Amino acid sequence: VEIIVHEEGGKIALHPGIVSDIHPDGTYDLVKLEHSFVLKNRRRQDFQTYRPYQPGMSVLWQTAKDKYDPITIVRLLPGSFRPGFEIHGTYSFTMDGEDQPGLVREERAMKMHRWAGVDEVVGVN
């Protein structure tokens, strides 16, 4: 899933996560994968289906605790995930604004998140 986080200035961050528990009252416990911590008793509008990143998409890569660097996705590496489990896959990417343009790196999807697009409707699927 993508966990919906409303940031300052009206931006919406979409962080990778998984549903770890469903409660009888209709709330969910979500694990925010970048930090490996549980967000308890969340509502359905707090997350949406994970959408694999497309080539050329700008996202943020967690390089240290609370440090994110802008990157551009090259592709989701085939064979790095089972169908429907892209969140567990690996992306190749380039660093934005790096001194070595074109250097391609690899990292797990769960270490990346994105900003919602300007016209994107979130939390409805």
Please give the share of the chain, as a percent, with pLDDT higher than 70.
Answer: 93
Which of 7-16, 18-27, 54-63 has the highest mean predicted lDDT (pLDDT)? Answer: 18-27
Q: Which of helix, strand or coil describes residue 57?
A: coil
pLDDT at 124: 61
pLDDT at 118: 67
Q: What whole-number distance in Å separates Cα of residue 47 and Cα of residue 104?
A: 30
Contacts of 44 (CB under 8 A, 6+ apart): 26, 28, 123
Quick check: 79 pLDDT over 80?
Answer: yes
Of 119 and 38, the structure prediction assigns the larger pLDDT to: 38
Task: Note the pLDDT tens digit of each residue in 16-28.
Answer: 999 999 999 999 9
pTM listed for this prediction: 0.86
